Amino acid sequence: MKSSPHFAGPWLLEQGVHNEEGVVAMGSNFLCANGYLGYRGTFPHWRKESYVACVVEDTWDNADGTWSELSSIPNGLYFRVENAEGKALQTSTAPEAKSFLRLDLEKALLSGSMDFDLPESGRMTCSFTRLANISGIHLLAQRIVLSADTDCSIIAVVGIDTDVWSLNGNHFATLAKAQRATNAGPGIDMRTGQSGIDIALRQALLLNGTKPKEGTNFTIQEGIMLRPFHLDLRAGESVTIDVGVSIYSSRDLPTPQEEAEEDAKQFLEQGFDAIREEHEACWKKIWERYTVSVDSDDDAWGILNFNTYHNVIATPAHSDHLPIGARGLSCQAYQGAAFWDQEIFNLPGHLYAQPETARRLLIYRYKTLDGARRKAARLGFEGAFYAWISGDSGDELCPDYFFKDVLTGRKIRNHFNDWQIHISPDIAYAIRSYRIATDDHAFTVGEGAEILFEVARFIASRVVWLPRKGRYEIHQVLGPDEYHENANNNLFTNVQCRFALTEALETLQRLKREQPKRLEELTSLLQLEEQEIALWKDIADKLFIPGIDPTTGLLPQFDGYFDLEDIAPSELAGRLKDSNEYWGWPNGIAFETQVIKQADVIQLFYQYPHLYDKETMRRNYRYYEKRTQHRSSLSPAVHAIVAARLGFADEAYRYFLEAGLIDLYNSKPAISGGTFIGGIHTAACGIARQMAIQGFAGVEAYEGGIRFEPALPEVWKKLSFPFYYHGNRIEVTVGKKQARFEHKGKGKPIQLLLPEKAVELKAGESVEVYL
C-alpha cells in the first residue's frame, strides 16, 4: 500500500507506512469526529509525540494567557500490547509486515492494522475499527482485534493517557481518577484552569463480547491509567476488545459525571456492533442529502466525498450556539473558533443540502450578537462588529499579536481583530443567501433582521464622509488579502458594506409591508429612528466603489494598489531569509508589492457573479491570478469557481484539484510566522461541493428561482446531486449533451433560468435541458 494517502474507490481513503513528516497531516486526514468531539487518525499505541489528540467542542480555556482554545482531553482509547514480561512489543520491520489506515467515508469508520514482532519468533497483528458516534455524539468507540501466527502469551493493555498533546499549555487545574466509574473500566474527572469547565470521561470495556472478570487492577505509568489483561493466544485465533469512551462537560449539562457514567453503561448493554449499526444508519441519511457524484476517470468523486465528510464532521449540527472551527476538531489550531470562513465557505456546503444546519449556524451569530456589540463599543463604534475569531460568547478571541518575526523573535502587531471589518457584512451576505435558498420568513423577520440592522449601524459608524468629494469612504482596513493591512477603500469590503446596507433597508421595507408589529418591536428594542435609517440609505447611495480604469480595464484592489511594486510571487519568494517568515504587514516581503495572499477582487467575482460583465471579470481574473500566492487554503476553490464561470475550463479544473487535495497532499505549511496552523482546512472542505455545484454545474439560487449555466470539465462524463430550494428536493444531473432537473418536492413551481430562456419546473415533474 502507498505511503501517501490515496483513494481505493470513491469512498475509501487509504495510507500505508507513514513517515514522521506526514504524521500531523495523517492524523487530520483520517480524523473521526461528529461535531462534538474529534479524535485524530492515529494508531492506538501512539502518544502525544505522534500528535494524538481528542478535542472537545465548547471547552474553551486559556492556559498561557494569550490563546483561548478548545481543550485536548485525555486519550481514552489508548491501547498497547506487551510480552509476558511486560515489555511493549515493537513494530515489525519485516518487508511483508502490514501497517495502514483506511477511512470509510460513507460509513465514517476508521480502520487500521499494524504488525508487531513477538519475542522469539512470529508476528502479532493488531487491527482496529474506530468511530465517533454520530447517533450519540458523546461516545467514541473502538474495536481491537488481536491475532498471531504462532502461539503466544501476551498482555493487552487498555488505558487512559493523560499526557496529551496540547498546543498552548496544560488546560487542567485538576485531573484525577473518578470516584464513580463503571465496573468495566476507569474514569477521569477534570476541570479547566481558567474557564472552570468540568469534563468527565468514562471508559467501558468488553472482552470477546463480555464484561471482563472483576479484580483486574488499575496501574499508573508515565501518565497513563492502565488496565492489563494477560492472554494466551493460539495461532490463527483472535481476541476482540471493544472500548467505549463517554465524554461530557459542564457546558453540556450540570452533571457531566452522571451522564458519562450512564453512556458508558449503555455501551456495555448495546455493544459495539449495535452502536456501529446506528452510526452507519445516520450516515446513510446524511449522504442522501450531501452526495455529489461524479462519473469520471480520476479521483474527483473521492475528492468531493473526502471534503464533504470533513465539512460535516467539523460542524456542530447538534447546537445553535457553537461555531465551525477553522480547523474543525482536528486540532486546537485557530482556537476552534469561527472566522468569516464559516459564512462564506462552510455554510454554503450545508445550505443546499441540509438547510437546518445553515440556520443553526446563523442562529449562532444571533446568539453572539451581544459579543459583537461589545466589540464595536470597545473600539468606539456602534452596532455589531463581529469578532474576527469567535468562540462561544462572540467576544474577540484574536490576539493583537498573532505572528512573530522569525528573524528577530519580536511579536508582530497584526490588525485582524480591528481592521478586518468585512466580517460583519459577510454575515449579512450569508443571511441573504439563506433567505433566497429557503424562503424562511420567520428567520428573516426575526433573528436575521436584528443582525442586519446592527451590522448596518456598525457600517454607518465606521465610514468617513469626505465633503469635498461628496462621498463616503472606508479607511484603514484589510480585505481577504491579509498581506495588505491599513488599506483604504478595499473594493471587496466597500461592496460588501454597500450590499449589507441595502439588504438591511430592503428587510426594513419588507417588515413595513408584511410585519409592521415586528418592525415596531425592533425599532423600540434597538432605539432605531428615521434619521438613522435615512443615513443608511445615504451611505448606500454615496459609498465610494472603486471603478474600472478606462485605460486598462482593471479594478483596483484598494487605493494605490497599482503603485506598488509589480513582481511575481515566485520571484518575490527569493527575498526570504527564512522560509517561515510572515509575508504581510508591517514589514513582510509582500506588503509593498502587488503580490497578494489570496483571492480578493476575484473573491468579489465569486460572491457577485453578475456585478460586472464577463469581459471585465476575465481581464481582472487574468491580472490578479498571476499575482496571487494562494497561501490561504480559501483561494484555490474561489479561483476554480470563477474560472469555470468565465470559460477557463482547464484552469478551473486545475484549481479544483489543488483545492480538493490541500489536506491530502499536505500542501499548506503547518507553521506560519512561528504559529502552528496545521490541521484540516475546513473552509476548503466546505466549499468543495460548491466547486462542483456552482462552478461546474453552474447551478445557483437567486431571487426568482434557480440559474443554470454549466461548464462541465472535459474529464467528467456526468455530475449528479440533490439541491434543496425552498424546502424542496431538486435532483440534478448534468451530462455532456443534456441535463435533467427533477422536482421531488410538493411546493410551488420553480423558475429555472437557462442561458437562453426560462422554464417552469413543477412539483413531481422533470425538465430535460439540451446543451
Residue 491 and residue 518 share a domain: yes
Clarify whether residues 302 and 236 are in a common domain.
Answer: no
Q: Of the candidates 645, 571, 638, which has an alpha carbon nearest to the alpha carbon of residue 604?
A: 638
Q: Are residues 298 and 284 in the same domain?
A: no
Annotated catalytic residue, options 261, 343, 482, 581: 482
Residue in 700, 695, 709 with CA at minimum distance from that of residue 757: 709
Asked whether residue 410 falls in the same domain as residue 284, the answer is no
- Is position 340 within any domain? yes
Q: Which three cell numbers stand for residue 697?
A: 454545474
pLDDT for res 670: 62
- Under a CB-based contact definition with an 8 Å cutoff, are residues 638 and 604 in contact? no
623 plus 671 within the same structural domain: yes
Question: Same domain for 103 and 141?
Answer: yes
User: Does residue 725 lie in a domain region?
Assistant: yes
Label each residue of 65-103 as H, E or C: CCCEECCEECEEEEEEEEECCCCECEECCCCCCCEEEEE
Instruction: Give 173's contacts (C-beta < 8 A, 6+ positions apart).
Output: 191, 192, 193
Cell numbers 491579509 correspond to 482
Query: Does residue 497 sit within a domain?
Result: yes
H/E stretch holding 689 reads helix 688-690
Cα-Cα-Cα-Cα torsion 151, 154, 158, 163, nearest 10 degrees, comes to -130
14 part of the active site: no
Whose grid coordinates read 496540547? 166
Q: Tell me the three cell numbers of residue 400.
A: 493583537
- Name the stretches of the chain with pLDDT < 50: 214-215
Domain boundary among 241, 274, 290: 290
* CA 133 and chain centroid, separation: 19
Name the DSSP class of 390: B
Q: Is 597 annotated as a binding residue?
A: yes
Beta bridge partners of 701: 706
Total domains present in the chain: 3
Three cell numbers, residue 580 = 517561515
Task: Write the CATH number for 200.
Answer: 2.70.98.40
How many secondary structure helices (H) and strands (E) does the chain include? 22, 36
Q: Is the separation of the CB atoms in 215 and 247 below 8 Å?
A: no
Domain that holds residue 756: 700-770
How would you class 16 by CB atoms within 10 Å of its CB: exposed for 0-12, middle for 13-18, buried for 19 or more? Answer: middle
Cβ proximity of 161 and 224 under 8 Å: yes
Alpha-carbon distances, residue 514 vs 271, 428, 508 (angstroms): 54, 21, 10
CATH of the domain at 709: 2.60.420.10
Nearest to 561 by CA among 539, 543, 546: 546
Whether residue 626 is contained in a domain is answered as: yes
Cα 601–chain centre separation = 23
Contact yes or no for 73/247 (Cβ under 8 A):
yes
Q: How far apart are the first and last CA of the chain?
A: 42
598 is in an annotated binding site: yes
User: What does the alpha-carbon distance between residue 489 and residue 503 come to, in Å, rounded to a whole number?
Assistant: 20
Domain boundary among 636, 662, 696: 696
CA dihedral 124, 129, 130, 134 (to 10 degrees): -170
Is 231 part of any domain? yes
CA distance 441 to 422: 26
| Residue 378, domain CATH | 1.50.10.10
Residues 6+ positions from 659 with CB-CB distance below 8 Å: 633, 636, 637, 640, 684, 687, 688, 691
| Boundary-marking domain end, from 696, 719, 744 | 696
Q: Nearest-5° angle of CA 653, CA 658, CA 659?
A: 95
Distance CA 337, CA 342 (A): 9
* Gap between the Cα atoms of 385 and 396, Å rounded: 10
CA 538 – CA 532 distance, rounded (Å): 10
**Residues 600 and 678 grouped into a single domain:** yes
d(CA 453, CA 382): 11
Residues 154 and 170 in one domain: yes
- Summarised one tens digit per residue, pLDDT across range 125-158 is 999 999 999 999 999 999 999 999 999 999 999 9
∠ at Cα 178 (177, 180), nearest 5°? 145
Look at residue 431 and give its three-state secondary structure: helix
Q: Nearest 10 degrees: CA dihedral of 389, 395, 401, 404?
A: -30
> Grid coordinates representing 311?
465539512
Q: Answer yes or no: are the C-beta atoms of 82 and 164 closer than 8 Å.
A: no
Q: Which three cell numbers stand for residue 203?
A: 471508559
CA distance 589 to 153: 62
- Asked if 708 and 356 touch (Cβ cutoff 8 Å), the reply is no
For 616, counting Cβ atoms within 10 Å of its Cβ (0-12 exposed, 13-18 middle, 19+ buried), the class is: middle
Buried b (16+ CB within 10 A) or exposed e, 276-285: beebbeebee
Yes or no: say if 204 and 244 are a contact pair by the CB < 8 Å rule. yes
Cα-Cα-Cα-Cα dihedral sign, residues 657, 659, 660, 665:
positive
Examine residue 325 and state whether it is found in any structural domain, yes or no: yes
Residue in the structure block whose three cell numbers are 498533546: 165
Statement to judge: residues 262 and 324 lie in one domain = no
624/605 Cα distance (integer angstroms): 12
Nearest-Å Rg of the Cα atoms of the chain is: 27
- Regarding whether 578 and 449 lie in a shared domain, the answer is yes
Residues 168 and 224 in one domain: yes
Question: 86 lies in a domain?
Answer: yes
Nearest to 192 by CA among 71, 288, 294: 71
Asked, as a colleague might, if the bond just before 586 is cis with ω within 30 of 0, I would say yes
Q: Look up residue 304 and give its three cell numbers.
A: 468531493
Q: Is residue 1 a part of any domain in this protein? A: no
Q: Are 597 and 629 in contact (CB under 8 A)?
A: yes
Q: How many residues does the chain have?
A: 771
- 675 and 751 belong to one structural domain: no
